[in-house]
Amino acid sequence: MATLFDDIVITLDASRVVELTLRTGNAPSHADPRRQARAFASLPSLGTRSEAVRRCAAILIVCLLNKGRVLLLDSVDGGLPAHTARGLGRWLSDHQRELDAQLMIASAGSAFRSGLCSGGADVTLVRLRRHEGLIHVNAVPPDACRLLECSGIARAVGAGECLAANGILLTETDVERAIYQSLVDADVPGEHRIHVVHSLGPSTLLMMHTRLATVGVRVAVLATLDVFASSERFQEWCARLTGGAAPRAWMSTRDRLAIEMEGGPDRKTLAENTRELESFLAQLHANANETPPAMVAGTRRASDRWRELRVKGLSILSSELRPWVEELVEELKRYGLFLSPVGSVRQWFQDGRSPSGSPWIEDAMAKIERGACPEPLLASFRETITWIRMP
């Protein structure tokens, strides 16, 4: 109690002999029973303290008086401030071995759950979800709970909230998360409990998807086409989504895309590569310790093309390649990977007009709030929600 409520101490007052009273404050010590009783009476009783203090005290006393038993605790964190609920959960987790009790706790509070998972006990989260008249039960193991509640990146983006969700939208950045959260608020009934979380950037997107998949609900990934930039990373995505090796047709399309982004084997490219090689060999004789400008320029061109694909989407592809990439994008949707055909989320709101003086994100969210979301974005979003809600 002292750690939860600024040094509050609960004392058992037995000075009246015929009745017991719980008071707050340090126990007095007097040899004279009458002085002892008066000193105790001067301390405020537990019943005069706030609802939060009384609730926490009741839970702690129940646990201490029922060591070695199975305890069922319902809504233990109801009405508690977040920091208090977190502290209570941490205390129960840290002292579970001392109590020698099995705790079964019903709670939907994220702060309390965070405290439980950050303590010393192994916490298994049992999720109950009603769908079309049936109750679905799945358990999230202790390691997964701890990763989502306590690891640095997961805690920074609030991934622990996903433990209570019925569906998850995973975006790359916080800007995308803000846009899609606005769409969820405006277009998805609250009882569906769709949570939107971002991964702090493309580099941690796959790792976050792997962790969120342990929750036991569908995770839809909203990403851009530079998922194809690395062959190894795309193969990892395929293994994560399909549970097996990447289909040959998928890798063939990805490789054709890489050739177009990094320079295809046409005559013009071969001629440029030949000139660059000749320049490279000539400069080796001049200074072997310096990177030739031609090689740097070639690498920069490939990087710029991938960046352009990320921002502008399918529009920059050749007419021969684009249908193949579109087909692959459609195939990946079946597995929960939704790649934006227009590039960055900002492109959905360009619609050929010059932006106003206010930041584009503010204009975009204002459009969503007043029901003027661009139809292509809304259709794409609803397609994602439909996939999440599939049994």
For residue 126, list its beta bridge partners.
139
Q: Which residues contact 7 (CB under 8 A, 6 or more apart)?
A: none
Q: Give the residue from 27, 32, 22, 31 showing the smallest Cα distance to 53.
A: 22
Terminal Cα distance for the chain, rounded: 45
Could you tell me the two tokens for 23? 């008071």
Q: What is the DSSP letter of 314?
A: G
Q: What confidence tier does 288 reach under pLDDT thresholds 50, 70, 90? A: low
Report phi then psi at 221, rounded to 5.
Answer: -100, 125
pLDDT at 8: 80
Range from 14-28, 73-87, 151-165, 176-190 that averages highest in pLDDT: 176-190
Could you tell me the two tokens for 227? 């998922």
| Mean pLDDT of the 302-322 span | 90
Report phi then psi at 11, rounded to 5.
Answer: -120, 140
pTM of full prediction above 0.85: no
pLDDT at 356: 52
Q: Give the residue from 167, 211, 169, 219 showing the smallest Cα distance to 192.
A: 167
- Tens of pLDDT, residue by residue over 339-359, are 999 998 999 987 545 455 568
pLDDT at 222: 97
pLDDT at 55: 87
Q: What confidence tier does 271 reach under pLDDT thresholds 50, 70, 90? A: low
Ordered alpha helix ranges (H), the chain = 33-41, 51-65, 82-94, 96-99, 110-118, 142-150, 152-156, 174-187, 205-212, 231-242, 248-262, 267-286, 293-312, 322-333, 360-369, 375-388
| Mean pLDDT of the 28-32 span | 77
Sign of the C-alpha dihedral computed for residues 86, 194, 141 and 205 taken in this order:
negative
Q: Which residues contact 149 (CB under 8 A, 6 or more apart)?
A: 113, 114, 117, 118, 155, 159, 160, 163
Q: What is the DSSP letter of 370?
A: T
- pLDDT above 90 (res 281): no
Neighbours of 359 (CB within 10 A): 10
The whole-chain average pLDDT of the chain stands at 85
